[in-house]
C-alpha cells in the first residue's frame, strides 16, 4: 500500500533539520542510504522523501543522525601514568582490573639469581680456604652450595673464573691525603687491623696466596691496584711507590699471616692499639722517610790506635785532653 504523498511530506517536515560539521542547520535531513563502493549516484526519485533511513544511520532517540560530515567520537583522556610506570604505559590497570604485565614485579628471577651466585661464592671461599686452589673442585663447591655443578659453570665459566670472583677484594683504603703526614703509618695499620678482623674472604685469599700461584697473583694485583695509588700520593718520590708499597705489604701481610692464618698466640693476643704501636712507626718510615740509598752517610771517625789508648783526642786514662 502506497503512502499518501501529503502525509509523507508532513512527516518529513516534522523531522529536525540536518546539521553540518560546522554546527549549523542545512535544511531537511538527508535520509537516503549511503551508496556502496562503486555505486553510481542517481537523482532522487519521486518517493525519496518517504525513504526510511537504515538502522545504522538512526540515532538512539529515533531521530536521524547526520551523515554528511561524520566525525570521530572524542576519546576520553587517558589517566596520567604513575611515577614508576614504564615508558609508553599510561594505564597501569588492564581491562579486567588486574595490573598489566609490564607493571608486575619483574625482579623475582633476578633476586633468585643473586641468591644463587652469593651461595656459590660463599661455598667457594670456604672450599678454597680449606682445600687450597688445586684440590678444590667445582663438584665439591656445588655440593656445598646445594646446586648442580652446571650452575657453577654457567655463572663463572671455570674454576679460575670462580676463584677470581671469590677473591674480589675492596680494601676500602682511607684517603691518606686527608691525614696528617706524621700519622699516615698509624692510620693505615689501624685500617688494616680492622679490615682483617672477621673477614673470611681476606683470610681465605691469604691462605690460597701462600700456597698457590693464582692466589699469589690475585693478592699482588689487589695491593698493586689499590695500595699503589695511596702510597704514591704520600711518598716523597712517586717513582719509589712500588718499593715502598712492597715494604708496607711486608708488615701488613706478615701480621695478617701470623694473626689470622697461623694464629701465633702472641700475635693473636695483641690488642688493636698494640699492633698499631708496634707496626705504625715502621709503616710510617716506609711511606715518608727519605730514601736511605740517597741520604747522606755520616763521616766515619778515624779508628782508635794503641798509642792513643782509644779514639783520637782521648787521654790514656780515658779522660779527654
In a domain, 7, yes or no: no
Of the spans 62-76, 83-97, 104-118, which averages the highest pLDDT?
104-118
pLDDT at 34 (0 to 100): 52
Percent of the chain at pLDDT > 70 equals 58
pLDDT at 27 (0 to 100): 52
pLDDT at 1 (0 to 100): 47
**pLDDT of 181 over the 90 cut:** yes
155 and 210 part of one domain? no
Half-sphere exposure of 135 (CA within 13 A, CB side): 9
250 and 161 part of one domain? no
pLDDT at 9 (0 to 100): 46
pLDDT at 119 (0 to 100): 94
**pLDDT of 145 over the 90 cut:** yes
pLDDT at 89 (0 to 100): 46
Give the closest residue to 261 by CA, choosing from 213, 226, 215.
215
In a domain, 230, yes or no: yes
**pLDDT of 204 over the 70 cut:** yes
**Of residues 286 and 77, more confidently modeled:** 286
**pLDDT of 194 over the 70 cut:** yes
Q: Residues 238, 232: contact at Cβ < 8 Å?
A: yes
188 and 274 part of one domain? yes
Alpha-carbon radius of gyration of the chain: 46
In a domain, 266, yes or no: yes
146: domain CATH number?
Answer: 1.10.10.60
Number of domains in the chain: 2
Of the spans 93-107, 211-225, 244-258, which averages the highest pLDDT?
244-258
**pLDDT of 149 over the 70 cut:** yes
Q: What is the rounded average pLDDT of the residues 129-152? A: 92
In a domain, 45, yes or no: no
198: domain CATH number?
Answer: 1.10.357
| Cβ burial 152-167 (10 Å sphere, 16+ → b, else e) | beebbeebeebbebbb
133 and 195 part of one domain? no
Mean pLDDT of the chain: 74
201 and 263 part of one domain? yes
- Domain of 191? 176-288
118 and 218 part of one domain? no
> pTM to 2 decimals?
0.55
114 and 159 part of one domain? yes
In a domain, 71, yes or no: no
Give the closest residue to 222 by CA, choosing from 240, 202, 238.
202
Q: Residues 84, 77: contact at Cβ < 8 Å?
A: no
pLDDT at 4 (0 to 100): 52
Could you tell me how many residues make up the chain? 321
Of the spans 52-61, 133-142, 195-204, which averages the highest pLDDT?
133-142
Gap between the terminal Cα atoms of the chain: 163
- Name the domain boundary from 166, 186, 203: 166
131 and 201 part of one domain? no
pLDDT at 132 (0 to 100): 82
Give me 235's grid cell.
711518598
SS3 of the chain: the string is: CCCCHHHHHHHHHCCCCCECCCCCECCCCCCCCCCCCCCCCCCCCCCHHHCCCCHHHECCCCCECCCCCCCCCCCCCCCCCCCCCCCCCCCCECCCCCECHHHCCCCHHHHHHHHHHHHHHHHHHHHHHHHHHHHCCHHHHHHHHCCCHHHHHHHHCCHHHHHHHHCCCCCCCCCHHHCCHHHHHHHHHHHHHHHHCCCHHHHHHHHHHHHCHHHHHHHHHHHHHHHHHHHHCCCCCHHHHHHHHHHHHHHHHHHHHHHHHCCCHHHHHCCHHHHHHHHHHHHHHHHHCCCCCCCCCCCCCCCCECCCCECCCECCCCCEC
156 and 186 part of one domain? no
In a domain, 69, yes or no: no
In a domain, 62, yes or no: no
**pLDDT of 280 over the 90 cut:** yes
Q: Residues 141, 152: contact at Cβ < 8 Å?
A: yes
pLDDT band at 92 (very low <50, low <70, confident <90, very high): very low
- 207-220, pLDDT tens digit by residue? 888 878 888 888 88
246 and 182 part of one domain? yes
In a domain, 313, yes or no: no
- 116-133, pLDDT tens digit by residue? 999 999 999 889 878 888
State how far the Cα of 280 lies from the Cα of 285, in Å rounded to an integer. Answer: 9
Amino acid at each position: 500500500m502506497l503512502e499518501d504523498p501529503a502525509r509523507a511530506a508532513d512527516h518529513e517536515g516534522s523531522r529536525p533539520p540536518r546539521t553540518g560539521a560546522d554546527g549549523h542547520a542545512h535544511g531537511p535531513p538527508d535520509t537516503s542510504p549511503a551508496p556502496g563502493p562503486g555505486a553510481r549516484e542517481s537523482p532522487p526519485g519521486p518517493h525519496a522523501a518517504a525513504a526510511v533511513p537504515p538502522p545504522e544511520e538512526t540515532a538512539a532517540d529515533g531521530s536521524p543522525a547526520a551523515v554528511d560530515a561524520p566525525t570521530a567520537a572524542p576519546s576520553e583522556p587517558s589517566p596520567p601514568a604513575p611515577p614508576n610506570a614504564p615508558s609508553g604505559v599510561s594505564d597501569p590497570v588492564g581491562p579486567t582490573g588486574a595490573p598489566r604485565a609490564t607493571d608486575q614485579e619483574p625482579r623475582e628471577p633476578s633476586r633468585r639469581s643473586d641468591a644463587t651466585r652469593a651461595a656459590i661464592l660463599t661455598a667457594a671461599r670456604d672450599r678454597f680456604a680449606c682445600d687450597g686452589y688445586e684440590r678444590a673442585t667445582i663438584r665439591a663447591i656445588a655440593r656445598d652450595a646445594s646446586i648442580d655443578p652446571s650452575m657453577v659453570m654457567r655463572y663463572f665459566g671455570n674454576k679460575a673464573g670462580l676463584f677470581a670472583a671469590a677473591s674480589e677484594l675492596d680494601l676500602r683504603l682511607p684517603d691518606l691525603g686527608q691525614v696528617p703526614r706524621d700519622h699516615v703509618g698509624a692510620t693505615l695499620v689501624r685500617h688494616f687491623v680492622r679490615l682483617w678482623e672477621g673477614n673470611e674472604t681476606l683470610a681465605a685469599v691469604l691462605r690460597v696466596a701462600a700456597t698457590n700461584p693464582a692466589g699469589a697473583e690475585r693478592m699482588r694485583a689487589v695491593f698493586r691496584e689499590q695500595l699503589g695509588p695511596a702510597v704514591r700520593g704520600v711518598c716523597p718520590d712517586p717513582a719509589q711507590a712500588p718499593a715502598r708499597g712492597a715494604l708496607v705489604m711486608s708488615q701488613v701481610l706478615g701480621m695478617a699471616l701470623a694473626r689470622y692464618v697461623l694464629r701465633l698466640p702472641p700475635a693473636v693476643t695483641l690488642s688493636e692499639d698494640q699492633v698499631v704501636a708496634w707496626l705504625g712507626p715502621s709503616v710510617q718510615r716506609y711511606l715518608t722517610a727519605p730514601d736511605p740509598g740517597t741520604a747522606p752517610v755520616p763521616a766515619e771517625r778515624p779508628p782508635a790506635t794503641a798509642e792513643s789508648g782509644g779514639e783520637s783526642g782521648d787521654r790514656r786514662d780515658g779522660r779527654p785532653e
